[in-house]
Amino acid sequence: MPDISKRAASLGTENAFVVLAEVNALARQGRDIISFCIGQPDFPAPENVQQAAIRAIKGGKHGYTPSAGIDELREAAARYMAAMRGGLPIRPEDMVVGAGAKPFIAYAILSTTDYGAGDEVIYPNPGFPIYESVIDFLGATPVPVPLVESRGFSFDLDTFEAKLSPKTKMVILNSPGNPTGGVIPKADLKRIADLVRGRDLIVMSDEIYSRIYYEEAPESITQFEGMLEKTVILDGFSKTYSMTGWRLGYGVFPQWLSHAIERLMVNSNSCTASFTQRAGIAALQGPQDDVDVMVKEFRRRRDAIVAGLNSIPGFRCATPAGAFYAFPNITGTGLSSKALEELLMTEAGVSCLSGSAFGEYGDGYLRFSYANSLENIEEALARIRRVSSRWTA
């Protein structure tokens, strides 16, 4: 039997899916596990969205669509993106629709860096693990920049500046961020824009959590002069409308890039499922109350989990300003993140993720996705408190 290629063997993963499979396997054996491992809102998709998908299927709207997405969705998404980002001139022809925002991470890196040419990509660490795995896989050079807890998990801007080089081809930003829940302050975005504006590089601004925030609305780097032309914006339906399994997202691309992305779509997916695209139009054009209700509930859970984690010996948890992740510093326990992740799973029946699953600078932290009921959050906190004697004794 031949081996898989070295290239395929080198591809990293997203640990959340690995741990979720373990949790599901344990649950099938009857183990009682409270899960905080996966970044998936636990709400139904809005009723009008469900109905639109059913109507599309029943109404025969189930054929191939244009690779970049159906015109009506691209128009609706362009209008929505423009309205949400202070009236930016975003055009339907700049939008490409895909099966989630995730595919565009690889497509954008693939289309802007050359394999083995020393092209550098700067990205947040701890950060969404797919950034690093894809940069590596596509033969670009990963350049992690640490997120700093005392800065609300934004970059230290001097470190960021020092990492920029003539070889930097792309800078990835993610705000609100996974796994930290941090929001990049406007002043930081301005400084980053000032630093990169004159350079021959592109920014990828992952704004998938843009509607889930608890303080001021997150800003986009595209609002600063000259930045829209050199930024890819990623957004989608998974988090905002609780549509993770529907697989629907989009990117806004500079004109010179959108054709290459469309070509990657033709070669890989042909197009995104037609009825989920129809549902996406309903999501963008319909009532937004469900989003407000969800964010309100996330805020209650955030307050409960942050207070609870801060009361556990050895834990110190900053209050996240966005997304639905708590990212406590657990260095006070004296245990490694991985050891604590395992201990909580096996002895407390609580599943979370080691911060090290999000990169080297995530070590010393755990990620709790609080997409779980308040009742389960309270029960999980009580369980963690009970086993804390393991590291306080």
Ligand X SMILES: Cc1ncc(COP(=O)(O)O)c(C=O)c1O
Binding residues for ligand X (CB under 6 A)? 39, 100-102, 128, 174, 178, 206, 208, 236, 238, 244, 249
Nearer to ligand X, 141 or 178 (CB): 178
Q: Helix crossing, 102-112 with 255-268: angle to 10°?
A: 120
Please, what is the minimum distance in Å from the beta carbon of residue 369 to ligand X?
9
What is the distance between the alpha carbons of residues 234 and 246, in angstroms, rounded to a whole number?
A: 17
Please, what is the minimum distance in Å from the beta carbon of residue 221 to ligand X?
15
- Contact indicator for 295, 176 with CB cutoff of 8 Å: no
Please, what is the minimum distance in Å from the beta carbon of residue 234 to ligand X?
6
Nearer to ligand X, 119 or 206 (CB): 206
- Contact indicator for 176, 218 with CB cutoff of 8 Å: yes
Cis peptide before 142 (omega within 30 of 0): no
Nearer to ligand X, 177 or 328 (CB): 177
Nearer to ligand X, 142 or 332 (CB): 142
Closest residue by beta carbon to ligand X: 100
How many Cα atoms are found within 13 Å in the side-chain-facing hemisphere of 363? 6
- Contact indicator for 178, 128 with CB cutoff of 8 Å: yes
What is the distance between the alpha carbons of residues 317 and 171, in angstroms, rounded to a whole number?
A: 28
Please, what is the minimum distance in Å from the beta carbon of residue 101 to ligand X?
4
Nearer to ligand X, 124 or 364 (CB): 124
Nearer to ligand X, 188 or 206 (CB): 206
φ, ψ at 104 (rounded to 5°): -75, -20
Please, what is the minimum distance in Å from the beta carbon of residue 195 to ligand X?
22
Query: How many other C-beta atoms are found inside a 10 Å radius of the C-beta of residue 33?
Result: 20
Nearer to ligand X, 102 or 301 (CB): 102
Using CA atoms of 284, 289, 291, 296 in order, give the dihedral in degrees to the nearest 10: 160
Please, what is the minimum distance in Å from the beta carbon of residue 245 to ligand X?
9
Please, what is the minimum distance in Å from the beta carbon of residue 374 to ligand X?
22
| Amino acid identity at 142 | P
**DSSP secondary structure letter of residue 344:** I
Nearer to ligand X, 101 or 348 (CB): 101
For 219-303, where are the E strands, in sequence order? 231-236, 249-252
| Amino acid identity at 334 | G
Q: Find, among 182, 150, 179, 133, the residue nearest to 37 by Cα.
A: 179
Chain position carrying tokens 């290239």: 7
Please, what is the minimum distance in Å from the beta carbon of residue 81 to ligand X?
15
Retrieve residue 286's tokens. Answer: 């319909």
Q: Find, among 332, 392, 389, 340, the residue nearest to 366 by Cα.
A: 340
- Contact indicator for 255, 88 with CB cutoff of 8 Å: no
Retrieve residue 282's tokens. Answer: 């309903």
Please, what is the minimum distance in Å from the beta carbon of residue 116 to ligand X?
26
Nearer to ligand X, 169 or 367 (CB): 367
What is the distance between the alpha carbons of residues 306 and 300, in angstroms, rounded to a whole number?
A: 10
Nearer to ligand X, 206 or 297 (CB): 206
Please, what is the minimum distance in Å from the beta carbon of residue 146 to ligand X?
17
